[in-house]
Amino acid sequence: MTDQSDDPSLFRAPPLAEQERMVEAMLFASAEPLTTREMEARMPHGSDAAEAMVLLRKRYEGRGVQVVRVGEAWAIRTAADLGFLMSREQVETRRLSRAAVETLAIIAYHQPVTRAEIEEIRGVSVSRGTIDQLIEQGWVRFGRRKMTPGRPVTFVVTEEFLDHFGLETTRDLPGLKELREAGLLENRPLEGAVRVVGEDDEDGEAPPPEDQEDMFED
């Protein structure tokens, strides 16, 4: 071991072109997105996966497969315009119920969001099964508990969700900016408003009346 430590090559990172080959090989090999950190852990000491990714990304521009960003990670996916060639590979995804699709969208746009908030938006109670289905699908996971009374659990979308729908981050959700500007992503409960669900919500409590004005002033 000691006799090798004198070898300077061990302490010099491989050339960037070589590093690019490495991230290319790893991303091709993996079905799941990989973070630069995960890749670096496999690369020779001193490698910079992020820099290699810049090169790789450029190299695959316009090609039949593309280097895409998925949250904090990277993946190679076929170009969407060539989907027609892949009929054999097509996976029959289980059709989601209308309730599940809506719940998924609400979680994506409002995350982190509690179950009571989802119910408030949809105006119906969310069956346990709906969220379970989304979790099972790998698109939704538990987020941090909310720091409100009862410390309710929240739901957020996963990296797999981003990957599946071809989103780099949740900021890329379609129409996000417009919805935010229109104030439609706000949670503004109103005292006296109709509540058709949520008798057992702990976090669904409307704020006391004196807070109300504030709630509308943002």
**Residues contributing to the site for a second copy (CB under 8 A):** 20-26, 28-31, 41-43, 62-65, 76, 78-79, 82, 85-89
Minimum Å distance from CB 207 to other proteins? Answer: 9
Read off the amino acid at residue 22: M
Minimum Å distance from CB 88 to a second copy? Answer: 5
Minimum Å distance from CB 77 to a second copy? Answer: 9
3-state secondary structure 26-88: HHHHCCCCEEHHHHHHHCCCCCCHHHHHHHHHHHCCCCCEEEEEECCEEEEEECHHHHHHHHH
Query: What is the signed CA dihedral for 189, 193, 196, 197, rounded to 10 degrees?
Result: 30
Closest to other proteins by CB, 26 vs 145, is 26
Interface map 34-73 toward other proteins (x if CB under 8 A)? x-------x-------------------------------
Minimum Å distance from CB 85 to a second copy? Answer: 5
Q: How far is CA 5 from CA 19, 41, 46, in A?
A: 22, 20, 15
Q: How far is CA 106 from CA 11, 32, 129, 133, in A?
A: 50, 25, 16, 15
- Tell whether residue 22 is a contact of other proteins (CB under 8 A): no
Minimum Å distance from CB 8 to other proteins? Answer: 25
Q: Which of 100, 113, 116, 131 binds other proteins (CB under 8 A)?
A: 100
**Which residues in the 113-172 window bind other proteins by CB under 8 A?**
121-124, 133, 137, 163-167
